[in-house]
Amino acid sequence: MQEIETVARQEQILHGATVDVTRSIDARGMPCPGPLMSLIGAIRESQVGDLIEVLSSDEGSRSDIPAWVQKARHELIEVVPEDGYARFVIRKAR
């Protein structure tokens, strides 16, 4: 699956996001645990304080992403259900 990176401003307009994100990952269509793995990869490449957005249509992500974010001690800023997928925004906390 392809990851689509866009600048924060475009994302905000496209998805009606309520926060300015540093990086966006479109993991829709990826099976479990693909979206989580994409998020982990993005977190590793990011700076502390960056906001990462993940779009995922995988049902497992709805529990897995919050569970991992808590375990890895980052911060789940928001989870927004959209039509056929969910949008997660995570702040890299350390």
Partner 1 sequence: MSADERFSLVLFSGTDDKLQAAATLAVGAAVMGRPVEIFLQYWALDAFRADRIEADHGVAPEAGDEGRMSMRAQGKPPWIELVRQAKDLGDVHVHACADSMEMFGIDQDDLDPVVDGVWGVASFFAEADGPVTFI
Give whichever of 24 and 38 is closer to partner 1, judged by the CB atom. Answer: 38
Question: Which of 4, 32, 40, 93 is flagged as catalytic?
Answer: 32
Q: C-beta of 33: minimal distance to partner 1 in Å?
A: 6
How far is the C-alpha of 93 from the C-alpha of 62, rounded, in Å? 20
Closest CA to 15 of 75, 93, 69, 88: 88
Of these, 40, 59, 78, 93, which contacts partner 1 (CB under 8 A)? Answer: 40
* Binding-site member from 4, 31, 45, 49 for partner 1 (CB under 8 A): 31
Give φ, ψ of 64 to 5 degrees: -70, -40
d(CA 80, CA 85): 9
Of the pair 17, 36, the CB lying nearest partner 1 is at 36
Concerning whether 47 is annotated as a catalytic residue, the answer is: no
